[in-house]
Amino acid sequence: MSSATHTSLTGRLNTLIIDSGVEGGGAVLVPHGDLVHGCADTLARTLARLPDDTDRVDLDMSEVSFMDTTGLQFLEVLDTYARRRRVRVTATGWNDQPRRVLQLAGLDPDDPLHGPGTRRESVPSVVVLERAEQLDRLRTEVEQLRQAIATRPVIDQARGILMATHACSSDEAWNVLREASQLSNTKLRKVAAEVTAGAEGGGPPPSPELRRALRTAIDRCLN
C-alpha cells in the first residue's frame, strides 16, 4: 500500500511515496522521496488508511534525502495522529540534510517526536519557529540546496558538451566553465546555460563577450 505526492520545485525533486505494511497491531511506513510541499497530506492519507486497531507506527526515514521547512508539518501530522489515537509513533533513520534541518529546528534527529528539546504536547510549528533566528539560517541553507538542485543538471550538461567537443576530462571541462565565468563576470549557471543552448539545434550561440571568455578559458585550461 502506498501514497504519493509530486513536488513543485521545477520537477527536479523526487516524488514522495510512502510504502506501508501492517503486521499484528504495528505499522511500518517507509517514505521515499523528499519532504516538501504536499508531504503532510501524503502522510495524512496513509495514516487514515491504517487499521483502527493499529497501536504503533514506525517510520523508516532512510529513503528521504531532502526536506525543507514544510517537512516539519510532516512531523506535526504524525504527532497529532499519535495523540488522537493514543498510539506510539517513531520516525528514525534520518539522512544528513534532513538531520540538519531537524537540528536547526531544535529537534533531536534520533527521535524528533520524543527526544530532548521536544515538547511532548506538540511538535514546534512553523509559526513558532519563524520567531527564532535559527529559522532564518535554516531558510538560507535550504535555498542554497534548492539552487544546487536546480543548477547542477545545467552545469553537468555543459561539462558533457565541452568534454565531447574538446576531448577533455570532466575536471578540465569544469575548469573551463569556472574560468569563463570569472573572465566574463558571468554567473557559472548562466555560462553553462549558454553553452548548452548553443549546442542545441537552432539554439542561440553564447554572447560575443562570453565566446571570447570561453576561448581564453579553453586555451588556458586545455592547452
pLDDT along the chain (223 residues), means of 10: 44 74 92 89 94 94 86 88 92 90 83 65 48 60 62 79 82 90 88 78 72 88 81
Per-residue b or e along 90-128, where b marks 16 or more CB atoms closer than 10 Å to that residue's CB: bbebbeebbbbbbbbbbbebeebbeeeebeeeebbeeee
Domains in the chain with CATH codes: 2-131 (3.30.750.24), 151-222 (no CATH)
Provide the CB-side half-sphere exposure for 148 (13 A, CA).
Answer: 7
What is d(CA 10, CA 150) in angstroms, rounded to the nearest whole number?
Answer: 7
Task: Please state, as a whole number, how many other Cβ atoms lie within 10 Å of the Cβ of residue 175.
Answer: 18
Per-residue b or e along 179-211, where b marks 16 or more CB atoms closer than 10 Å to that residue's CB: bbbebbebebbebbbbbbbbbeeeeeebeeebe
Q: Could you give the 3-state DSSP secondary structure of residue 102?
A: helix
Amino acid type, 121: E
What integer pLDDT is reported at residue 44 of this predicted model? 94
* CA-based nearest residue to 46, from 56, 65, 31: 31
**What cell numbers appear for 169 in the block?**
576530462
What integer pLDDT is reported at residue 149 of this predicted model? 55
What is d(CA 177, CA 158) in angstroms, rounded to the nearest whole number?
Answer: 8
What integer pLDDT is reported at residue 121 of this predicted model? 45
What integer pLDDT is reported at residue 66 of this predicted model? 86
Q: Are 192 and 154 in contact (CB under 8 A)?
A: yes
Q: Are 72 and 124 in contact (CB under 8 A)?
A: yes
- pTM equals 0.53
Amino acid type, 5: T
Q: Are 70 and 40 in contact (CB under 8 A)?
A: yes
